[in-house]
């Protein structure tokens, strides 16, 4: 299982985050309602497929992060 924790703006409804994760072959769990990045919620995204979690992470973080950066954020369990 591949895992990554990411914060998402508090303006995005949980249902939208769940749909985004599902559309990318991932599951999502709300870890902290008021996370460390300015109070935005912190989510745990998980997938059995590296490419799914990489694509999801890339789309959330944008062009500032490449595959090597993402590899440092994702861990296996």
Give per-10-residue mean pLDDT for the chain (77 aa): 95 96 98 84 97 96 88 96
pLDDT of residue 49: 98
How far apart CA 26 and CA 9 sit, in angstroms, is: 19
Q: Where are the domains of the chain?
A: 2-76
Sheet containing strand 2-7, edge to edge, reads 27-32, 42-47, 2-7, 75-76
Architecture in CATH of 2-76: 2-Layer Sandwich (3.30)
What global pTM score does this model have? 0.92
């Amino acid at each position: 299982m591949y895992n990554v924790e990411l914060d998402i703006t508090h303006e995005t409804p949980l249902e939208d985050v769940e749909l985004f994760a599902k559309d990318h072959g991932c599951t999502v769990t709300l870890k902290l309602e008021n996370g460390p990045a300015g109070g935005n919620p912190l989510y745990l995204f998980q997938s059995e497929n590296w490419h799914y979690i990489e694509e999801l992470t890339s789309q959330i973080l944008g062009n500032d992060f490449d595959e090597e950066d993402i590899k440092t954020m994702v861990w296996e369990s």
